[in-house]
Structure 1
Amino acid sequence: MDSTAEDGEGTGRRLRELRRARGLKQQDLASDDVSVSYISLIESGKRTPSAAVVALLAERLGCTPGYLLTGQDDTRTRELELKAAFADLSLHNGADAEALQAFSEVLAAAPVLPEATVRRARLGQALALERLGRLEAAAQALTALYEDPRCVAGSAEWSRLAAALSRCHQALGDQVLSVEIGERALRRLDQLGLEATDDHIQLGAVLVGCYRSRGDLAKARLVADRLIRIADDGGGRSAQRETYWNAALVARSQGRIDEALALAERACALLAESDHLRHHALLRTVYGTLLLSCEPADPERAHQLLERSHAQLVDVGTPAEQASAQTGLAWACLRLDRAAEARQHASRALALLRDEPRGESVEARAVLAHAQFAEGEDQQARDTLRAAAQQLRQLPTDRSSAAAWRRIADVWHRHGHTAEAGAAYRQALDDAGLPGLPAATDRAGVPGAAR
């Protein structure tokens, strides 16, 4: 085959690939000067287009004539790589919608880009989808990248993908799969015998969060303690911050509030060296809610921290993260005897969560009911708590659900509804794995009963 024929085949192949990448049909490229049949002949390599035709087709495809002819377009490639860098920066700063748009524009031109840039954009696009709450699309994109044979186990990309995929399934409510992905990835790292990197430590931190969400606090603490030792020995600031942050959440879940505050303060000190606005806001949310749980509580300071957190999360946080800050503000307002404000914050949290059956929605309803009781709206409060219980029954049964039942029970009890409180307390014990005696127990079968 002569060189002209080879050039024609290459041009035709690039024309076809770029047209399909743009979502165009052959007729979309046709004009008075170039027929559909002629475009088909070019794509099949049976015709070599003139310079004028190449220029016309390149204009319609948004590339340079040089790319169609040779496959090389340094100017366009540099522009797209700069756009990918801008998208990374947007994602880092919490401008998730901007990042998604930029990554999508880069991927639309994938045929002219190096494979490394394409994979970087695909990962960024998936992370932006996750941040925007489009979890199913994010999980699908992350799975495709993670299972790609070119993704090498133990690499930084592989660790980021494993962490993101585990985190995404946790947010989707699949606690079993989220833990399985994290555990399998950490086992693989142990088998490889690689020195722990920040990416590896952050993968472990995600697994700690999954354990905590599932209510497996013993495992969460074991992994968190191990990660703190590794991070303190040689991890970067980011890895240390992540481990202390997650360890604080575990300590809070176990009721070790003083320890949780100390760990959170350590995370705050490490975070002071970072410019990551979203992480600053999220840690303020955690620290603010801890200040409401300790004795004595500090609702004024908690309210200040949560207000600052929410103001930043409006710009850089996900709806669920904004809702968490709103729920925290509602509890702080109740501690400050500002029931009307508490009600507003709780209602905003529910609106952000779209009334989906999830633990965050149950928590928001509990504080809303508390505020409604405080304002004398008993019937509305009872309806709100019943709605919370109905949602909670749709969630997996574990220590997290037990804690949510306990919260509902406390609200019932606080406002004098002892029968409803008793039923919720019993459900909390059942979910925690502590069922009571059967309802119809024969007296003779009760240990210590008189005969």
Structure 2
Amino acid sequence: MDHVEAVSPAQVGRRIRNLRVKLGLKQQDLASTDISASYISLIESGKRAPSDTVLAVLAGKLGCSPDHLRTGRDDDALEDARLKLSFAEMALRTGDNGAALQSFGELFAKPALLDGPMLLRVRIGQATALEKLDRIEAAIPVLEELRKDPALAAGSDEWCRVLVALSRCYRNMGDTTLSIEIGEQALSTLDALGLDVTVDHIQVGSTLIGSYLMRGDLTRAHLLAQRLLPVAEEHGGRAGRGAVYWNAGLVALSRRQLPEARALTERALAMMADDDNLRHVAMLKMTVGWLELQSDHADPVRARELLQDAGQTLAELGTAVEQARCEVCLVDAHMRLSQWDDAVAHARRALGLLSSGPRVEAVGARVRLAELHLLRGEREDGLQSLHTATRQLRHFPPSYETAQEWRHIGDVWKRQGRSKEALEAYEQALQASGMPATYDPAHALAGQRQR
């Protein structure tokens, strides 16, 4: 993926000669006590490759940079490219993902202006912007190309960012198997380098925990979280430690250890509250707010405040899916407070945000909308929403997440006295969580009778 012009003695010599002639200089004018005119002639004819020291001396006399002699890049154009790259990266940090993607695209269209490190930053930034814009299917090929690039050194910060993003993208596309495979390979690579456990381990491990949770592999998620917690305390900054405590809290939540989950995520929020990654802080506030609703002594007012605060930030910096998740959590908060109209508005907003493609979050929003219709006596609308949610959920592969939604659908049917539909939903939930139906010995008896 190296788009930078290869350096050859002939090209360097030609550039030196063209500049010298343009300035009206002779070869003797470039000579010095250490560089003879005959050596200048050999360089210009491409028969000698100048060292960096000689190139610096010649550049000084020709009024350009050594990089211009080496690559032919115009100094002003190179500076403009550096400024555009800085702008694009700043736009990413401030949540202006569309502007960032446009700037990265303009830079990538002129690769001759970029050196190797700059080109790598452009490609990583492009993939990051695509992911943040929820264009994950477009981000994955860029990340896969980067992963195969021999210039991306294993164990480097850029390598870690690419592997973490790729694992996360596959997870968000529903391919937890590939997401986990990438995460586990990345951790193995870091271990094989023989380095002490680093912040990179924490970043890769945190992403891997999320993938384990989505697959319902709670044991592996728990073991990895327990491994990373002491590492984060010793080596991680506040943000890194907060990320590990956050994931450990999610593991505890999945194991139905609600007090532990709440304590861990509250601690994570305290660590990350002042972090400059406002999107991560908002996501954590959303988690804490949702956990507040699950508590035996829930404070729905505090949960609503946390979720509203998170929603405001995610509206500027988050993806459509992240915004929708916050809207769904706000539905639950308003339902706890009997604020039915507000709850309906948030459910509809979540569905609007997820209109571009099939998402499990859309099923959750639709089930809640069905509940709200039924609570308000709008039975026909409620049953229609519930049937639609059921049909949509059948298209998703089994996972812990889909099992939760099947359970929710079953509960709503049960509360309506629809035992047949409830039983079917509960059976789907068991299968999605990895618990298929037991063998019916009546089948064997029927087979014997036929014989």
Q: Does the TM-score normalized on the shorter chain lie above 0.5? A: yes
Contact 1:340 1:375 (8 Å CA) reproduced: no
Q: Structure 2 matches for 1:71-90, cutoff 5 A?
A: 71-90=72-91
Indicate whether 1:250 and 2:257 are aligned. Answer: no
Shift of the alpha carbon at 1:304? 1.1
Deviations 1:357-384 (A, max 9, x none): 3321221112111111111111221221
Residues 1:246 and 1:10: Cα distance change in structure 2 (over 3 Å): farther
Question: What residue number does 2:293 align with?
Answer: 292
Letter in 2 for 1:107: F
Specify the alignment match of 2:93 in structure 1: 92
Following the alignment from structure 2 to structure 1, what is the Cα–Cα distance between the partners of residues 441 and 380? 33
Structure 1 distance, partners of 2:131, 2:71, is 37
The residue correspondences of 1:9-408 to structure 2 (distance < 5 A) are 71-354=72-355, 356-408=357-409
User: By how many angstroms is 1:444 displaced?
Assistant: 8.8
CA deviation vs aligned residue, 1:249-304 (integer Å, no higher than 9, x gap): 22222211111111111111111231222112111111111111111221111111
The code of the aligned residue for 1:305 comes to L
Give, in whole Å, the separation in 2 of the partners of 1:98 and 1:370: 40
2:73–2:112: 8 Å Cα contact kept in structure 1?
no
Equivalents in 2 of 1:283, 1:3: separation in Å?
57
Supply the AA of the counterpart residue of 2:256: G
The residue identity in structure 2 corresponding to 1:423 is E
**Match of 2:391, as an amino acid?**
Q
Q: Percent identity?
A: 43
Which residue of the partner structure matches residue 51 of structure 2? none
CA contact 1:247–1:263 (8 Å) conserved in 2: yes
Q: Is the 8 A contact 2:15 2:69 kept in 1?
A: no
Amino acid at match of 1:399: Y
Q: Tell me if structure 1 keeps the 8 A contact 2:12–2:69.
A: no
Tell me the distance in 2 between the aligned counterparts of 1:307 and 1:86. 30
Q: Write the distance in 2 (CA, Å) between the matches of 1:444 and 1:158.
A: 59
SS in 2 for 1:242: helix
In 2 relative to 1, CA 424–150 (structure 1 residues): closer, same or farther, beyond 3 Å?
same
Shift of 1:5: 11
After TM superposition, the structure 1 stretch with the greater mean CA deviation from structure 2, 331-340 or 435-444, is 435-444
Which residue identity does 1:322 align to in structure 2? Q
Distance 2:151 2:71 in 1: 26
Deviations 1:90-110 (A, max 9, x none): 212222112212222322332
C-alpha separation between the residues in 2 aligned to 1:174 and 1:10? 56
What are the superposed Cα offsets for residues 57-100 of structure 1, whole Å, 9 maximum, x if unpaired? xxxxxxxxx96997142232222212212222221222211221
Mean Cα deviation higher: 172-181 or 2-11: 2-11
Structure 2 residue matching 1:397: 3-state secondary structure: coil
* Paired letter, 1:210: S
Instruction: Provide the residue aligned with 2:418 in structure 1.
Output: 417
Q: Residue 73 and residue 256 in structure 1: after superposition, are their counterparts in 2 closer, same or farther (change >3 A)? A: same
Shift in alpha-carbon separation, 1:238–1:3, aligned structure 2, 3 A: closer
CA distance in structure 1 between the partners assigned to 2:189 and 2:17 by the alignment? 42
Match of 1:433 in 2: 434
Residue type of the alignment partner of 1:394: H
Unpaired runs of at least 5, structure 1: 12-65, 446-451
1:247–1:260: 8 Å Cα contact kept in structure 2? Answer: yes
Equivalent position amino acid for 2:390 in 1: A
Q: Partner of 1:44 in structure 2? A: none
Q: Which moved more, 1:164-173 or 1:187-196?
A: 187-196
For residues 165-197 of structure 1, give each alpha carbon's deviation from its aligned partner in whole angstroms, at most 9, with x where no partner exists: 000111112111111111111111111122232
Structure 2: how far apart are the matches of 1:272 and 1:5?
53
Q: Which amino acid letter does the alignment assign opposite residue 425 of structure 1?
A: Y
- Could you say what the CA RMSD is over the residues aligned between the two structures, in angstroms? 2.7
Q: Distance in 2 between matches of 1:123 and 1:220?
A: 28
Alignment coverage as a number of residue pairs = 391
Task: Quote the Cα distance in structure 2 between the aligned partners of 1:261 and 1:326.
Answer: 20
Helix, strand or coil for the counterpart of 2:357? coil
Name the CA shift for 1:444/1:294 in 2 (closer, same or farther; >3 Å).
farther
Q: Give the AA of the match of 1:290.
A: L
Q: Contact 2:199–2:235 (CA<8 Å) still a contact in 1? A: no
The answer (yes or no) to whether the contact 1:71–1:112 under 8 Å persists in 2 is no
- Residue type of the partner of 2:301? E
Offset of residue 439 of structure 1: 6.7
Contact 1:307-1:329 within 8 A present in 2 as well:
yes
Q: Which residue does the alignment assign to 1:7?
A: 14
Q: Is the Cα–Cα contact under 8 Å of residues 265 and 288 in structure 2 kept in the other structure?
A: yes
Q: Is the 8 A contact 2:367 2:409 kept in 1?
A: yes
Query: C-alpha distance in 1, partners of 2:266/2:91?
Result: 28
Change (3 A) 1:216 1:237: same
Distance 1:101 1:304, change over 3 A: same
Query: Relative to structure 1, is the Cα distance of residues 10 and 292 closer, same or farther in structure 2, using a 3 angstrom cutoff?
Result: farther
Instruction: Kindly provide the amino acid, as one letter, of the partner of residue 395 in structure 1.
Output: F
Q: In the TM superposition, what whole-angstrom CA distance separates every residue of 1:361-419 from its partner, at most 9, and x where no partner exists?
A: 22111211111111111122122122222222111113322222111112222333333
Per the TM alignment, residue 158 of structure 1 is displaced from its structure 2 partner at its CA by 0.9
Matches of 1:5 and 1:228 in 2, distance apart? 53
> For 2:369 and 2:225, how far apart are their aligned partners in 1?
33
Aligned-partner Cα distance in 2 for 1:356–1:70 = 45
Shift in Å, 1:113: 1.9
Conserved in 2, the CA contact under 8 Å of 1:284 and 1:305? yes
